[in-house]
Structure 1
């Protein structure tokens, strides 16, 4: 810079703030990017034009829907004194919550250890490491509780050796439910009215938290849960599961069984078909839970009377699934292209009537463990 220009800059009268342009609306921390996600209308091929559903695109958050719960659980733990400044965070995750906890760790200054298993995509391992988290992988599933129980057991071991560390325990922590109240209020502002909500179920957090708040405004709203074949959550026998992000080999306490009007189970080949259709037709895509939810939400849009407003929650984006859901070779090796999904689900009267292997729905929803429910069923448009 020339000396004459430097002299001019030093001698010039300072310009009043905002005189030339408004103060930029720039996030000061990445956590401020969480929330206020968009809604996209989805119709064909899931439902005829005009009879589609509104998809809440939680993949627009930095790491996905669980950014909301991770930040809230850590913030509340710090407020209560359960997590002291600088102490470690240790948690089990199949991926999305891990990304959220990495964000929370950066935001509040805590080292993060994520316990996962060999099913965690290498891309997510690299992302977590890049974000500063440590990834600890178990090598063998628990004989009854599968990979999830094995991960939880490993978390217990690590907490014993890391004094002062904290586990948010997404499966049982009520903060995982209350974290989703803002998502519900966003939906109310965006859609005005919601008659049917379709949500994937894994830990049970977002289905319970969003439906609880929505029913304060729309008491007759129906809640449809979406599970994976091979998941034990709603009474099916636990089995091997290719899909991650929904379903469980255990029975999380946060699942609000009494809030559901019905449950659908979706198989991997059906979720892949739906994911590919979303990408091709709507430039919107995500992982297993997104595909499964889209399939069921499309059914709801067709099954209920015209004018019924159906909202669906898409928990994440496509990036961690590029080597699986969106990889033709991988899908071919797992025989996910061998058959097209039916456009209507099978129906069973009881959730444990028989072991299901493809898209199936059931109107009877109960806790397989018989635990008392604090969230009671509300008569909705399904009845």
Structure 2
């Protein structure tokens, strides 16, 4: 597992924002300082609610932050030469961030995706001058995600001067989110519970590790999707994009999490659509998933507990999926209200989960597998 660097705690919350350096009047200068919004009733129980950090106010979403940071750090280390190509696997949002970073620093960008990428996203990337390379067959074990990564390896072999950010394992992906955590402290002053979606592990580790420095008793709640392997469930076909994984990203900081929730696609759709109707602030799969969990925590925890979640992007990308009735009907996503409370399991290996489920025991599945193998060899 990567070791995440300790971030020094500034003297005051106000210093967190005043110390931020932005290249004003440039596209990159539009990234950061995103607003927070109070989400209360009717989405939540009367008198309860949570704060949402609206990362959709960045030009392309939350991954603008990590794309710019990873590219800048690679250039400073000499890993990415001036004008050299950038090649990366993505389901979409990082592609927009890399398009922005490529424009800011002068690099052509190729993103490798799969047929699940929305036409709107493909069109936007092409408009920004990004080449989209689509794989056509999923990997037999690692699914579309592994197939994309294999294609990235092929492209890097053909273009030896190209650079891959490797968002799944690059510690710069984690470090990029310290400013987001600093913004939250400056905006809210105190945070008791953080609810974050988990995919590559970047923003969950980056935000949570910094906030723990300010608030040692911070509760960190990870939100995954059913069918994802990150927290020890077996791989299964996944409709939701932007969270979950078919591999084990080393940027996931398992030791930071107090609990994990798995959310199914119909439950995320219900939450995203309800947010849109009643609060005019919403997004796609990740937003629906984290909002559902934050809504439950707002009802379950003491009223004075200050809960914060991160909305990674806005709704535009999902007009043809989450917010499209024919699409949702084809996938049986409508008229399936989530339960008031999640199912509970004591261990991620207890059973395969297919609906919203909570587990208070969080372990690294690769470490658990290694221990099991050692125990078997000892016998």
Distance 1:195 1:146 in 2: 37
- Deviation per CA, 1:334-361, whole angstroms, max 9, x where unpaired? 1111421112100000011111110000
The correspondence for 1:317, drawn from 304, 314, 317, is 314
- Tell me how far apart the structure 1 counterparts of residues 244 and 42 of structure 2 sit (CA, whole Å): 25
The 5 Å alignment of 1:73-112 reads 73-112=70-109
Q: Which has the larger radius of gyration?
A: 1
Asked if 1 retains the 8 angstrom alpha-carbon contact of 2:344 and 2:358, the reply is yes
Provide the rounded CA distance (Å) in 2 between the counterparts of 1:91 and 1:184: 26
Where has structure 1 moved over 3 Å in runs of 4 or more?
Answer: none
2:10 counterpart residue number: none
Counterpart of 1:117? 114
Among 303, 324, 327, the alignment partner of 2:324 is 327
Aligned position for 1:264: 261
What are the Cα deviations for residues 113-146 of structure 1, in whole angstroms up to 9, with x where unaligned? 0000000001100000000100001011111111
Q: 1:144 aligns with which of 141, 146, 161?
A: 141
Alpha carbons 2:43, 2:278 under 8 Å: kept: no
Match of residue 287 from structure 2: 290
Distance in 2 (CA, whole Å) between partners of 1:104 and 1:113 is 12
1:360 aligns with 2:339: no
CA contact (8 A) 2:230 2:244 kept: yes
The alignment's TM-score, normalised by the length of structure 2, stands at 0.90
Structure 2 unaligned runs (5+)?
1-21, 370-379
Structure-2 separation of matches of 1:272 and 1:238: 21
1:45–1:277 Cα contact (<8 Å) kept: no
State the alpha-carbon separation in 1 of the partners of residues 368 and 255 from structure 2.
Answer: 10
**1:40 partnered with 2:32:** no
For residues 343 and 273 of structure 1, the distance between their equivalents in structure 2, rounded to whole angstroms, comes to 13
In structure 1, the partner of 2:62 is 65
Q: 1:205 aligns with which of 202, 207, 216?
A: 202
Displacement of 1:371 in angstroms is: 7.6
1:43 Cα deviation after fit: 1.5
Counterpart residue number, 1:304: 301
The match for 1:51 is 48
> What is the aligned partner in structure 2 of residue 28 from structure 1?
25
Q: TM-score, normalised by structure 1?
A: 0.89
The within-5 A match list for 1:124-163 is: 124-163=121-160
What does residue 5 of structure 2 align with?
A: none
Change (3 A) 1:186 1:371: farther
Unaligned ranges ≥5, structure 1: 1-24, 373-383
CA–CA distance in 2 between the matches of 1:173 and 1:163? 19
| 2:337 aligned to which of 316, 320, 340 | 340
After TM superposition, give the deviation of residue 27 of structure 1 in Å.
Answer: 4.2
Residue number in structure 2 paired with 1:375: none
Q: CA deviation at 1:26?
A: 10
